[in-house]
Amino acid sequence: MRVVIAGGHGKIALLLQRHLAERGDTPVGLIRNPAQADALRAVGAIPIVCDLEHTGVAELAAHLDDADAVIFAAGAGPGSGATRKDTVDRAAAALLADAATRADVARYLLVSSMGVDDPPAPGGDDVWAAYLRAKRAAEDDLRARDLAWTVLRPGRLTDDPPTGRVTLTRHAEHGAISRTDVAHVLTALLDEPRTTGATLELIDGPTPIADAIHAAAT
């Protein structure tokens, strides 16, 4: 399986690309900075330099040739302002969907966030509020498209060792999840087309990932 991942140098994306490569898939990571290419090669991924804030649909679609799936795991990241939350977390996700449609790549996984359904608290962090709005807008845009989409909303991300056991459901209590377990869940979602059209929240839990994916698909 050839999987193109937007935000290829992110922590989850690097873990995901390593996992995909180890099982014999071909991960392709889209990166903005050419200096990040060696990090992708080190985990077995093919780096492609493509700045999603400054590229067009046709150029991006060309990078999706022969892809079986795309995953949007990009984000403006810490220190970015409200404007880039919109241009990356919303607009770039929509651009990838446009390109996937043009390249005839149906499977699309969107890494979103728990909390996007909750209105920001009055007087809270404006940038955090912009982030949640951008993620929710990206979800809404994707749901309106004729793609085989799945939205994954992880809880608070940690660098803890993976447990291989999760809670994966339509609505979960707030909680944490290791980035490695997120990467493993994304891989499992690629293998389960019956999760198409589902929005799933993910935190630590008691259920082995394979069983949790099976339950979410039924």
pLDDT of residue 118: 84
pLDDT tens-place string over residues 101-140: 999 999 999 999 999 998 677 766 888 889 999 999 999 9
Rg of the chain in Å (alpha carbons) = 16
Check pLDDT > 90 for residue 17: yes
Say what angle helices 209-216 and 179-190 make with each other, to 10 degrees. Answer: 50
Quick one: average pLDDT of 186-198?
A: 97
Alpha carbons 217 and 98: distance in angstroms, whole number: 26
Q: Which domains does the chain have, with CATH numbers?
A: 2-216 (3.40.50.720)
pLDDT tens-place string over residues 39-87: 999 999 999 999 999 999 999 999 999 999 999 999 877 778 888 989 9
Alpha carbons 114 and 203: distance in angstroms, whole number: 9
pTM for the full predicted model: 0.96
> Hey, how many other C-beta atoms are within 10 angstroms of the C-beta on 196?
15
CA 147 to centroid of chain Cα atoms: 15
